Amino acid sequence: MQPFSYDALPMRVRFGEKALEQLPGELEELGVSRTVVLTTPREQAFGEQVDELLGPVGLGVYPHAAMHVPVSTADAACAYIAEVGADSVVCLGGGSTVGLGKAVALRTGLPIIAVPTTYAGSEMTPVWGLTEDGIKRTGRDRRVLPTSVIYDPTLSTGLPVEVSVTSGFNAIAHAVEGLYAPDASPIISLMAAEGVAHMLTALPAIVADPADLQARSDALYAAWLCGAVLGATTMGLHHKLCHILGGTFDLPHADTHSVVLPYVMAFNLSAAPAADDALVRATGTDSPATLVRELEQSLGIVGSLAELGMPESGIDEVIRQALAAPYSNPRQVTEADLRTLVTAAFTGSPIG
């Protein structure tokens, strides 16, 4: 076996049905006593229920989390949290809410506790992102890593099927890219393959029966593993493209990852045989990229960036930004390669 290093991230996880009920005790164990609950506008009512669960510890709900974490939203959230005198933040929801919590932690140093209701997996990473003037900046900082994560499968049973599916493929993208990252390891490969296999099994079951708690539990477990893979490795071409697409054109985060994923897989796996072997085992097929694309189509995922609202004129801008900043990738990326890949994702061309 080749030498490797693996740096485990410090984090506490509670997993199980009705685990949300343990949130007050978790906050007490962390030594915090004044908490703001962050949500999106859509989940405000649920946030108010959680705030009520916290009793005197809860200082209210800030329901303004948005995709790609606009700088103005982060500014306003920090101002509100300072005004009420919070010493901690609970992030209730998906990637948008966790992303806002990370922005707060980056600026204030306050601990954040994540309660995921989707399968994005961002709660397991020290990666933050902020968007301003159409440009999304990202970075890594352990200050933004949630101190605790509470995984409660019952919280995702009401998640719309289409959101469940796209956030699940978003999680798969984390695992795939971790498999061929320069800092991958046998431990990462185990988590990635396990996460991909469980998610690919769970998503069709969720589509067939959105109330299937076992399928929801499997998807949440897979999201945990896939997110942990991303948290421990270096991002490459896939995440670079999706950050550009999201920040520049305000495309929906998980949907964008879902559309781009099979095209980047098809491009990169030929140059990453170990990653390809792991995905062949996890998917049970010799063409993992094709299987992912076909499964996405069968589960109703939008098939192209054009359908998500990206203008065709934006292809040149995506290429310009992708070439302007270096990033790790197992295969050299040329301007011609990018044009072929992004154009295929824009039109929804067949894989291969």
Residue 200 is encoded by which pair of tokens? 């690919």
| 287: pLDDT strictly greater than 90 | yes
Q: How many CA atoms lie within 13 A of 245 on its CB side?
A: 30
The whole-number pLDDT of residue 5 equals 79
| Band of pLDDT at residue 129, cut at 50, 70 and 90 | very high
What average pLDDT does this structure show over 334-344?
97
| Band of pLDDT at residue 124, cut at 50, 70 and 90 | very high
Helix crossing, 253-268 with 95-108: angle to 10°?
Answer: 90
| Band of pLDDT at residue 1, cut at 50, 70 and 90 | low
Strand, helix or coil at 222?
helix
Residue 321 is encoded by which pair of tokens? 């930004």
Q: How many CA atoms lie within 13 A of 340 on its CB side?
A: 12
The mean pLDDT of the chain is: 94
| Band of pLDDT at residue 152, cut at 50, 70 and 90 | very high
| 229: pLDDT strictly greater than 80 | yes
The whole-number pLDDT of residue 256 equals 97
Does domain 12-156 correspond to CATH entry 3.40.50.1970? yes
The domain limits of the chain are 12-156, 161-347
Does domain 161-347 correspond to CATH entry 1.10.3720.10? no
Interatomic CA distance for residues 291 and 119, integer angstroms: 20
Q: What is the pTM of this model?
A: 0.90
- State the alpha helices, DSSP H only, in the chain: 23-30, 44-54, 71-84, 95-108, 161-179, 186-208, 213-232, 237-249, 253-268, 273-283, 288-298, 305-308, 315-324, 335-347
| Band of pLDDT at residue 326, cut at 50, 70 and 90 | confident
The whole-number pLDDT of residue 11 equals 84
43-79 pLDDT, tens digit each: 999 999 999 999 999 999 999 999 899 999 999 999 9
256-275 pLDDT, tens digit each: 999 999 999 999 999 999 99
166-219 pLDDT, tens digit each: 999 999 999 999 999 999 999 999 999 999 999 999 999 999 999 999 999 999
What average pLDDT does this structure show over 26-44?
95
